[in-house]
Amino acid sequence: MRLRAVSVASRTAATLASVLALGAAVAESGAAATSPTPSALERALAGIVGDRQGPPGALMLIHRPGRDEFFRAGVADVRSGAPLQRFSHFRIASVSKAFNGAVALSLVDRGDLSLDETIERGIPGLLPLAGPVTLSELLQHTGGVPDYIRAKAFIERFTEDPSAYIPPRTLIGFVRDDPLEFAPGSRYHYSDTDNIAAGLMAERASGQSYDQLLSDLVYRPLRLFQTSLPRTVRMPRPLMHGYDVEAGRAPEDVSELINPAGAWASGGIVSTPTDLGRFIRGYVSGRLFGGAVRRAQFSFRPGDSSPPGPGSNASGLSLFRYRTPCGTVFGHTGSFPGYRIFAAANGNGNRSVVFVASAQIVPGQGSKRVSDAIGRAQRLAVCRALG
């Protein structure tokens, strides 16, 4: 999604349909052998921000045993010139799907839900044509459930007022009467409806609100004090402002124009680099659940996250595997008007990467040159974390 005054609302809807669901120092082929130096990472970020079509700010938080490294370029706020901080809040977009996985799989681990639970039993009547799809297929994007973000009725409602609150049941209602796109389990296709349905299944199975589940099962165990799922456009401070960027025009602040409730469990969470790094390390390493549930989560099949992450992508249950020349990490990517995000950790959770750019620049949307530079910077960050 992208916004520029009134005219950008329709542009925003079109981009949301395609991506929300959706100067570097080292060449990709040469990144495997060595750990990039801090100056290499700084140059990579400076190249992204310095491009005339680049974001006003970009940052990396890299965690290695006993040490955090924070790299940044540009500013958090174009007007004030405020610096980017480890505690700057931003919209994590589809990385929220990993939080949704943490909730659902924690409930499976304690016996309140089953990976074989179907939509028909879990949320009866809400998606009648998707009844046979299981929770496992929802979390791996293999159920064939159509994406509500592409629905004409959703785009029209969103375009009328991007700041309006849309309840989760209304969101999946936009595709209530649409048939499955393929037989459950037969293919991979990234759909934001999957996570809305999974979040509603978690609520019904537990008897708790999704917000309470996040608090009890994720925030508290992992000590995430600056992470939330807002229902309004207002964001906590300090804020890493997100921008709509276009060559030849001043960046437009879109941080608080779009209600994240329109993405809910699929993409509505706000966090900070510090909290997101702590989350991805705990989530990947098995601190929230283990045993058979974690083994099921780590059963991968080909499938790109949206936007694609570094290296070769494969899809597990609310988790992606990224095989790079430097090694393998696990995590999620995200994009939302004003932001592009990548968060990943190694298998035992003692190394992690958080990357954030303050504009939604993804493949097929915005500058290809800048998007490619972001991809290279993410690979450098992985190499630094694993080096």
pLDDT tens for 306-337 read 999 999 999 999 999 999 999 999 999 999 99
Question: Three-state SS for 340?
Answer: strand
Q: Confidence class of residue 31 from pLDDT cuts 50, 70 and 90? A: very low
Distance CA 362, CA 305 (A): 12
Beta bridge partners of residue 320, listed in sequence order: 315, 331
Rounded to two decimals, the pTM is 0.92
| Residue-level pLDDT at 290 | 92
| Residue-level pLDDT at 34 | 77
Distance CA 182, CA 189 (A): 9
Distance CA 376, CA 24 (A): 7
Question: Mind listing the pLDDT tens digit for each residue in 191-210?
Answer: 999 999 999 999 999 999 99
Q: Confidence class of residue 23 from pLDDT cuts 50, 70 and 90? A: very low
How many C-beta neighbours within 10 Å does residue 366 have?
25
Torsion of CA 62, 34, 45, 309, to 10 degrees: -70
| Residue-level pLDDT at 95 | 98
What are the angstrom distances between the C-alpha of 135 and each of 125, 182, 190, 237, 294?
16, 16, 14, 35, 15
Asked if pLDDT for residue 297 goes beyond 70, the answer is: yes
Beta-sheet strands, E only, within the chain: 57-64, 67-74, 90-91, 243-246, 249-253, 270-271, 301-302, 312-315, 320-324, 327-336, 339-345, 352-357
Q: How many Å from the N-terminal Cα to the C-terminal Cα in the chain? A: 35
Q: Among 1-5, 68-72, 188-192, name the one with the lowest average pLDDT.
A: 1-5
Q: Which residue has the higher pLDDT, 266 or 4?
A: 266
Domains recognised in the chain with CATH numbers: 8-386 (3.40.710.10)
Q: What is the mean pLDDT of the chain?
A: 92
Burial pattern 172-198, b for ≥16 Cβ within 10 A else e, equals bbbbbebebeeebbeebbbbbbbbbbb
Asked if pLDDT for residue 28 goes beyond 80, the answer is: no
| Residue-level pLDDT at 18 | 39
| Residue-level pLDDT at 386 | 98
**Helix ranges restricted to H, 207-247:** 210-214, 220-222
Distance CA 209, CA 251 (A): 37
